[in-house]
């Protein structure tokens, strides 16, 4: 059986920029970039709810709930360890010890990303004179 040890949540760079200083205390640095390590996660609504286990300055344990729009999250990784199963002893792997290897000789992308429209794709702005020729309903 698997026993959940938490989740690693990666954000889009624009999301980290938009959240600014408010997200900084919860971010950790790792081989995959900045991320939030949380104990539980709920992706059931428009907001992704992350439960973070923390300690106050006086040593008390607290559970913090951090909620961000789902559109800000790039990827969620479940960090689990394998419990012993079968007839031989097993050792649980370290939590997120390393990421899978990536080839250095991967081909460059053949087209620009479509995540953000090019500046030439912006809708044209109509002037007041042009809009006066439109019928009353628009």
**Is pLDDT of 135 > 50?**
yes
What confidence tens digit (pLDDT) does each residue in 24-52 have? 999 999 888 899 999 999 999 899 999 99
- Whether 110 is covered by a domain: the verdict is no
- Whether 123 is covered by a domain: the verdict is no
- Whether 131 is covered by a domain: the verdict is no
Q: What is the per-residue pLDDT for 121?
A: 58
C-alpha–C-alpha distance, residues 50 and 128, integer Å: 47
Q: What is the per-residue pLDDT for 81?
A: 66
- Whether 47 is covered by a domain: the verdict is yes
- Whether 91 is covered by a domain: the verdict is no
Nearest residue to 7 via CA among 76, 75, 65: 76
What confidence tens digit (pLDDT) does each residue in 50-75 have? 999 888 888 898 999 999 999 999 99
What confidence tens digit (pLDDT) does each residue in 81-119 have? 665 555 555 554 554 455 555 566 666 667 766 666 566
Q: How many domains does the chain have?
A: 1
* CA atoms within 13 A of residue 121's CA, in its CB half-sphere: 5
What is the reported pTM?
0.54
- Whether 72 is covered by a domain: the verdict is yes
- Whether 28 is covered by a domain: the verdict is yes
Q: What is the per-residue pLDDT for 51?
A: 94
C-alpha–C-alpha distance, residues 119 and 51, integer Å: 39
The vertex-44 CA angle with 38 and 45, nearest 5°, equals: 105
What CA dihedral angle connects 86, 90, 94 and 96, to 10 degrees? -30
- Whether 33 is covered by a domain: the verdict is yes
């Amino acid at each position: 059986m698997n026993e959940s040890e938490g989740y690693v949540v990666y954000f889009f760079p624009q999301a980290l920029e938009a959240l600014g200083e408010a997200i900084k205390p919860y971010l950790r640095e790792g081989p995959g970039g900045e991320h939030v390590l949380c104990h539980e996660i709920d992706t059931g609504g428009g907001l992704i709810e992350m439960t973070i286990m923390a300690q106050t300055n006086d040593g008390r344990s607290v559970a913090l709930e951090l909620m961000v729009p789902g559109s800000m999250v790039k990827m969620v990784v479940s960090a689990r360890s394998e419990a012993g199963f079968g007839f031989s002893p097993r050792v649980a792997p370290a939590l997120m010890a390393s990421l899978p290897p990536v080839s250095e000789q991967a081909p460059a992308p053949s087209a620009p990303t479509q995540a953000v429209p090019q500046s030439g794709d912006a809708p044209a702005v109509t002037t007041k004179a042009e809009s006066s020729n439109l019928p009353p309903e628009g």
